[in-house]
Chains A and B, each alone.
Chain A
Amino acid sequence: MTNSIYTTAAPVARLIEELHKLPGIGPKSAQRLTYHLLRAPAEDARALAQAILEVKEKITLCSICQNVTDADPCSICDDHGRDSASLCVVEEPLDILALERTRSFKGRYHVLHGVLSPMDGTGPGDLKIQELLERLRSGEVTEIILATNPNLEGEATAMYISRLLKPLDLRITRLARGLPMGGDLEYADDVTLTRALEGRQEV
């Protein structure tokens, strides 16, 4: 950049650089966001900065389920109306939101904060698996629902955890992987079709 005639002011360049670090934000989007903030009222910018700081200062992980929370234990772990025998294991906190929207699961959760990804070198030690094992020690949980994503990493994680939990004599289930709503039978791949057949239900 030394031989360019016009250079961006240093604070602007720094903000672009910081925004560019965020997932899904390319260099063009980072620039756009930066110039948007430059034009925005000062109080909007301050509110954003404050919100970012508060997230880092006030939000922690629930010591029981590892979900992000501002109170420990989190509201789900603290809810005595929920079934503590059934535990749903998810990859990320956002997955809890998706499952809670269905209102059809009344048990509790455990967040792994990631997924086994052999090709990226992410191993079991990088996930909250040890915390899961410790949680199961009390014997209160009798069913584990593995709700990892139906892709290679999610399957690897589900297989790894179910193998680890085998000696504990729990009922271990995996979310059914069948035909998506709005999907066409003719476009379904063999694995999906086979699983949809296996998971067929009485009507």
Chain B
Amino acid sequence: MPRPRVYKTKAVVLRHRKLGEADLILTLYSPELGKLDAVAKGARKPTSRLAGHLEALSHTNVMLAQGKSLDVVTQSQTIEAFRAFWEDLERMSRAVYVAELVDKSTPEQQPNRALYELLLQTLRYLAETAQIDVVVRWFEVQALTVLGYRPRLDRCVRCQADLTPVANYFSAVAGGVICHDCVGNGLIVRPLSLNALKILRLMQHSYVEQVLRVRIDGPLADEIEGHLREYLYTVLEREMKSTSFLQVLKREALAGT
């Protein structure tokens, strides 16, 4: 969609980068325009009228003007500030990961309204629910669908046979579940427990509210996280830098208990 010279859009602020003495480059995710970078002039000065309305991880209304290289934010008004992220490091770290995943999985200026809605809904749940890691897993499964990488979970990707209710295998390269008969021939697979398969299917087909009713923790949560990390890494070919911070927090939580 060609942008008019001056335009208005809603957007989630995925990240900030410093520019020059007092400016910021914002990476925005908009329903109409997809991902785009924009400059907020003077936003690092304490007196800036823009700054408070353009915080990272917030949902905001922005007015932009086409610039020479980057568009320039002329007005902004926060819609949802998600204060919980600024008061709870665990919530903030998950929200940062989700924002990074959207940033790294999308090209510039290609709208994907489903991804925008998914991102917003995920941030809302991350700000409120106690099971933030389950929300992140649900987001990952749903993001794979809206990005066009939906893993096949209903039957074997290779032989198309229905899956028997036993442990199977999961292959990121093959794009889904592999049955006992098809495993081998050098295909890289991970053992997939029946419970993990059930949860992944639930996450693929359900609203987050339904997923949050199921208890997902301990080794089962670790297994699902491992499958999704591998899968995302294979399809996106990008490492998420924020995962190392998530691991630091996890290690310290374990050490503290």
Contact = CB atoms under 8 A, between A and B. Distances in A.
A119 B92 contact: no
Interface string A124-145: 1000000000000000000000
A183 B49 contact: yes
B244 A123 contact: yes
A106 to B, nearest CB: 23
Interface of B: 15-16, 20-21, 46-47, 49, 52-53, 55-57, 78, 81, 83, 86-89, 92-93, 96-97, 99-100, 103, 241-242, 244-246, 248
A183 B53 CA distance: 14
A120 B241 contact: yes
Contact of B83 (A118, A184, A191): A191
A199 interface: no
A187 to B, nearest CB: 4
Interface of A: 24, 116, 118-121, 123-124, 151-152, 155-156, 159-160, 163, 180-184, 187-192, 194
B57 A116 contact: no
Nearest to B75: A187
A91 B151 CA distance: 43
The interface residues of chain A, by DSSP majority, are classed as: helix
A191 B81 contact: yes
Given A191-B55, A191-B81, A118 B245 contact: yes
Given A118-B97, A152-B56, 13 more contacts: A24-B21, A118-B242, A119-B99, A121-B242, A124-B248, A152-B16, A155-B92, A159-B88, A160-B89, A180-B46, A183-B47, A183-B49, A190-B83
Contacts of A188: 52
Given A155-B86, A163-B89, A194-B83, A189 B244 contact: no
B78 A190 contact: yes
A24 B244 CA distance: 28
